Amino acid sequence: MMKTPKVHQISECFVKPESAPEESKQPLYLGPWDLIMLSVHYIQKGVLFSKPNQDYDDGDFMEALLAKLKNSLSLTLVHFYPLAGRFKTLLQSENPPSCLVYVDCSNESPGAKFIHATLDMTVSDILSPTDVPSVVQSFFDHDRAVNYDGHTTSLLSIQVTELVDGVFIGCSVNHAIADGTSYWNFFNMWSEVFLGTTTISRPPIFKRWFPEGHGPEISLPYAHPDEFVGRFEAPELRERVFHFSMESLAKLKAKANAEYNTTKISSFQSLSALIWRCITRARNLPPEQITNCRLAANNRARLDPPISENYFGNAFYPIRGFTTVGELLEHDLGWVAWKLHEVVSNHNDKGIRGLLEDWLETRRVFQLGQLVDPFSVMMGSSARFNKYGIDLGMGKAVALRSGYGNKMSGKVSCYPGHEGGGSIDLEICLPPVTMCALESDHEFMEAINYSLK
């Protein structure tokens, strides 16, 4: 059996903002939704491009690309200056103990990391296997780092991995200062700067949102970070990307609405209900077992008054529907989808503020290992993010892939389908035995096959 080639790092450097904005001289304090995330992994997403045909063996192409990527990154960091910073913590060990974490945005930081690497594989080698090859995890920096590590590691790291006939650009961003909305806004604005714009279309807003009576500084009730920083190792997982066409999603939505005699269930709620049912069935759990389906809900538009989509920070919450395995599998798709519809509908300004008030009583930091639930499903990322609109001089990306960060059994990441039009790709992570059972599930494969007809 041939060994998979390894990624070889060629160079590493740090990139600073081209100029230091006045705001970067002040600390950036973290909001409640940021502080919660200090012990989970970095966001690791990336885009795979094909090289222009004539440039397969042209060293000048890569040299020019790397130079332009670094230069445009430096210009982009003028707008996104906290990504070039580092965390700092003020500790008070008694009366009572406290821990204040903030971003030092000053010019003392080395900046964002930029890595050039190579891999002797083709685009087809990455995309053609049934499962996502494990080497893809090596396309990202900060492997297994948790966000609190941002005291000593960069808050942003770009790794450019050159393949035989392609280029993968992996972006690792500290999840305690950015959620998916912020992450993809940065990536898209970098693309705009790369293409020559001097004024970006969506400038980030860094002023942190706090509930009334709180902020701008929120201390955590810990004497030392060891009390809230935990490390999580995922079990052995298979990772596959499944495609759902626009037609497939329309049929699922029509089916769910007809079964519950409504018109209010969305395509995504129908798809999430399908995935929850099918993964739960593949796990072969006892009927009395409680199971959850968590959805990453963007809080920005749900607040009253709403906050801007350009708000740069964390502004999401993992809302959940739950029931027993028996109920989930005894009822039809429409019943399950309606449960998720109700959860989404009830996540409003009042509910969000109530959750925040509860958190402010404890100020607990999430630990990934404590949140892992082998009986549940987590629907993360979003097909609404403009992921294929990123243009870094090589045309439209051919695929999206992610790193090791925040993966566990039942983690599902949503991407727009490559052809657009409302299609969706789901990146599903499951233990090998469960993935085999899912691949044989009639309800699941029937929905997949909609895409093939």
Catalytic residues: 175, 391
How far, in Å, CA of 217 to CA of 315, rounded?
17
Nearest residue to 325 (alpha-carbon basis) of 362, 367, 366, 279: 279
Is 318 in contact with 175 (CB distance < 8 Å)?
no
Cis peptide preceding 287, ω within 30 of 0: no
- Hey, what are 58's tokens? 């042209």
How far, in Å, CA of 202 to CA of 427, rounded?
28
3-state SS, residue 247: helix
Beta bridge partners of 101: 89
Is 430 in contact with 282 (CB distance < 8 Å)?
yes
How far, in Å, CA of 160 to CA of 157, rounded?
10
**In this structure, is the dihedral angle defined by the CA atoms of residues 431, 437, 442 and 445, taken in order, positive or negative?**
positive
- Hey, what are 246's tokens? 């626009």
Q: Count CA atoms within 13 Å of residue 42 on its CB side.
A: 27
Is 403 in contact with 137 (CB distance < 8 Å)?
yes
In the chain, DSSP finds a helix count (H) and a strand count (E) of 12, 15
